[in-house]
Amino acid sequence: MTSPTSFLMLYFVCGFSIALAATPNITTDQSALLALKAHISFDPQNHLTKNWSSTNTSVCNWAGVICGSKHLRVKALNLSYMGLVGTIPPHIGNLSFLVSLSIRNNSFHGSLPNELSHLTRLKIFNFGFNEFIGTIPPSLSNISSLQVISLGYNQLSGTIPSSIFKISSLQKISLGANKLSGPMSSIFFNISSLQNIELGENMLYGGLSTHMFDHLPNLQYLSICCNQLSGELPKIGNLTMLTNLNLGENKFEGMFSQLSTSNM
């Protein structure tokens, strides 16, 4: 039979566990940003070195940071074109109210942390023109609100997770100028919201699905140039929104059929 003391110990252990589960707040956001700052090794314009401080100013007044007025949480982070060198720590996933995250045109390197998938409110994800390596985390597809994924001009390798193309809100995906490989047939374009697809300058191979354009009624731009694609060209269908189509420097055969676009 369990003694009363055992019950008492269990009560205090459970109580202690609950006490550790603090609700995220602006202090949580501040800690996440300071962790990011600690992973930056070069800040030529001193944007973060001088401005991001735990004592001098409110986090909502830090360079590149925008807070929402309703919840007073970090809503947007834009560190683009700052010449920063560094890596992205897993703490970035604690910015749980983040809607827009842009670090375009810097020298961030290393791999993309899986904790990015914790940013469930994220709509804009722009890490283009950096030096990231490794595989695109399939867990990004868990961010159901994503509208823009921009990872072009990095050093990413491996296959493109097909699950990304199941995000129903996705409007733009830019993965060009990386080292991505794998068969195009493994990618299923089935998102009516997609307007812009950039997969050029990679190492993708194989053929295209005959009906790959059937579920892309709002497609405006498509580039899959400079890969190793081959086979028959698909039926282009009635893409009335299409204005730019780049399939060059591949090994396709034949001609497009059912070409009916208003702006080409």
Residue 58: count of CB within 10 angstroms of its CB? 11
Q: What is the pLDDT of residue 21?
A: 46
Single out the residue of 162, 166, 109 nearest to residue 138, CA to CA: 162
- Strands ordered across the beta sheet of 40-42: 40-42, 85-86, 107-110, 131-134, 155-158, 179-183, 203-206, 228-232, 251-253
Query: Which of 176-180, 193-197, 208-212, 255-259 has the lowest average pLDDT?
Result: 255-259
Residue 197 one-letter amino acid: I
16, pLDDT greater than 50: no
**pLDDT higher than threshold 90 for residue 17:** no
Query: What pLDDT, in 10s, does the model give residues 126-140?
Result: 999 999 999 999 999
Does residue 260 surpass a pLDDT of 60? no
| Interstrand relation of 131-134 and 107-110 (parallel, antiparallel or unpaired) | parallel
Contact between 163 and 188 (Cβ < 8 Å) = no
Ordered by start, the domain boundaries in the chain are: 22-253
Domain topology for 22-253: 3.80.10
**Is the model's pLDDT at 259 over the cut of 80?**
no
Q: Identify which has the larger pLDDT, 115 or 188.
A: 115
CB atoms near residue 59 (< 10 Å): 21
Average pLDDT over the chain, rounded to an integer: 88
pLDDT surpassing 60 at residue 95: yes
pTM, full prediction: 0.87
125 confidence band (pLDDT: 50, 70, 90):
very high
User: What b/e sequence results for 190-224 when a residue is b if at least 16 CB atoms lie within 10 Å of its CB, and e otherwise?
Assistant: ebeebbbbbbbbbebbebbeeebbeebeebbbbbb
pLDDT band at residue 238 using 50, 70 and 90 as cut-offs: confident
